[in-house]
Amino acid sequence: MADWERVSWLEAEPYQLAREKEAMAAVAPGLVWVDQDPAGGWEGEVPLWPFARPQPELLEEFLAGRRLRIRVEYSQAHPMVEPTVWPVEPQPDPRYRTQHDWHVNGNGSLCLLQQAQDWNPTDTAADLVVKAAGWFLEYLLMEQGHIAAMTTRGIATDSSLDVLLTPGPPGGQGGR
């Protein structure tokens, strides 16, 4: 059998790459494409509220200037395998990697899918960025003690925690 020349997914799937770039520009214009070896990725700030429902009125007060910066890395198995999303700022405490409640993988990347079959090869990295935006809000709620565990579905599709994203009175609990 002949030895086949290895080809990057970027070369093998140019239409997929164009689709990825178009989707990211629409969802997260604060992320920039980086030609990291060998499979490419994104870096930058995640949008505050990329969800299909109204943003809580005082969300920016709750955030108090805090933002999530990430690095997205594709593998050569893309689009069959989802990209990996790494938090750059803030970086979760390494102890959270051993606690299921925080949705941080053992290697420090974000756990954004509950099961492998939750990734569909027609999805894009932009879909994961939306989930990462929700992860960040739940991360802040966890750090502030408002919730004991991140939700299974995530804020991206579950509005049950939206009420907590409003700062409370000084010295009090959020969610007024």
How many separate domains does the chain show? Answer: 1
Predicted confidence at residue 172, as pLDDT, reads 46
10-residue averages of pLDDT along the chain (176 residues): 81 94 97 89 97 95 96 96 97 91 95 92 97 98 95 92 80 48
Range of the domain at 94: 20-165
Whichever domain contains 109, its CATH number is 3.10.110
In a domain, 174, yes or no: no
Predicted confidence at residue 176, as pLDDT, reads 42
In a domain, 55, yes or no: yes
Predicted confidence at residue 26, as pLDDT, reads 98
Predicted confidence at residue 174, as pLDDT, reads 52
CB contact set of 70 (below 8 Å; sequence gap of 6+): 31, 42, 43, 44, 46, 85, 86, 87, 88, 110, 129, 132
Predicted confidence at residue 1, as pLDDT, reads 62
Cα 13 from Cα 95, distance rounded (Å): 38
In a domain, 173, yes or no: no
Three-state SS across 111-145?
CCCCCHHHCCCCCCHHHHHHHHHHHHHHHHHHHCC
- Does this model's pTM top 0.85? My answer is yes
CB contact set of 159 (below 8 Å; sequence gap of 6+): 53
In a domain, 5, yes or no: no
In a domain, 130, yes or no: yes
Predicted confidence at residue 5, as pLDDT, reads 82
In a domain, 53, yes or no: yes
Burial of 26 (0-12, 13-18, 19+ CB in 10 A): exposed
